[in-house]
Amino acid sequence: MLHASNQFDCPNKCGIRAKGCRYCKLISVGEQVSVNTMAAKYEIEKFNRSNFSLWKLKMRAILRKDNCLAAIEDRPIGITDDRWKEMDDNAIAHLHLAMADTVLSSVAEKKTAKEIWDTLTGLYEAKSLHNKIFLKRRLYTFRMSESTSVTDHINNLNTLFSQLTALEYHIAENERTELLLQSLPDSYDQLIINLTNNILTDYLVFNDVAAAVLEEESRRKNKEDKLFTSQQTEALLMMRGRSMARGSSGSQNHSRSKSRSKKNFKCYHCGKRGHVKKDCWHYKNTVEKAP
């Protein structure tokens, strides 16, 4: 039974205070789950004033997926007010959740998704042109150093391709292949000659050329490993030879030193140098003649 003092305290006009209304609690929880689901449904990096063209591409995909892309464009003819408002609200929610706080504060007062979109485009579209020019300059002067792995180089090159594609600058397959070949160091000149001389079609396929470059790098590493092992073995044998030579030389020196030291001995029997008493032939003769 409802008490008169509790009438219409609920924002939803259910007649029960909001904290005690199970229906209102369900609505509140449902709305929160809906927002959390929307935030987690599409994991994209929040726009933080960098790479607007790539973020713009992703956002259009999300709005299209949720059937609210029209909200950032002109209103379709014949759409009802309720449907238009629902579409606009969904688009606003998606946009708000995909912006960093520093960016969101600049469009917080905008009332429609189109106003938000147009504001962001006006603020950051010009920067995208500068970014496109910078990326193109970097791409066409991109070179691989001898210390860089082929895998890292190809990944960096593909990143540049993707960034320019997001800026609506498309690079054809044959041009991508040519850019890969011209970016290789001089030590790959023979490989480039072999690839271009054996071409059977009008152009080389990027993935095929990338595989050939990776294979060449692997061949070089195997050759270097074998050379290094050979050098290690040779160095070890040289060290052992020197050690044995030092040992032999030491023995000879020891014998010489013993010989030299004997020359300094003085016999206490005959008084001559070069031997000791027990080796003295005079002493031995004396002992033998003794009765």
The rounded average pLDDT for each run of 10 residues, N- to C-terminus, in the chain (291 residues) is 42 48 45 46 82 87 94 92 95 94 93 95 80 91 93 93 85 93 93 82 84 91 68 67 61 54 64 72 66 57
Q: How far apart are CA 37 and CA 93, in angstroms?
A: 12
Q: Give the residues across from 137 on adjacent strands.
A: none
**What does the pLDDT read at residue 3?**
42
Residue owning tokens 């060290």:
239
* 8 neighbors 15 (Cβ within 8 angstroms): yes
Greatest Cα pair distance in the chain:
154
* 134 neighbors 53 (Cβ within 8 angstroms): no
CA distances from 90 to 38, 41, 60, 85, 106 (A): 10, 14, 13, 9, 19
**What does the pLDDT read at residue 112?**
95
**What does the pLDDT read at residue 36?**
47
Tokens (6 digits) for 224: 């270097």
Taking only the tens place, the pLDDT of each residue in 245-267 is: 666 555 555 555 555 555 566 67
Strands (E), the chain: none
Taking only the tens place, the pLDDT of each residue in 172-209 is: 999 999 999 999 999 999 999 988 887 666 778 899 99
**What does the pLDDT read at residue 252?**
56
**What does the pLDDT read at residue 228?**
57
| Domain coordinates in residue numbering, the chain | 1-41, 45-126, 142-225
CA proximity to 158, closest of 136, 174, 132, 180: 180
* 10 neighbors 16 (Cβ within 8 angstroms): yes
CA proximity to 84, closest of 94, 74, 93: 74
Model-level pTM? 0.48
Residue owning tokens 């040992």:
247
**What does the pLDDT read at residue 225?**
62
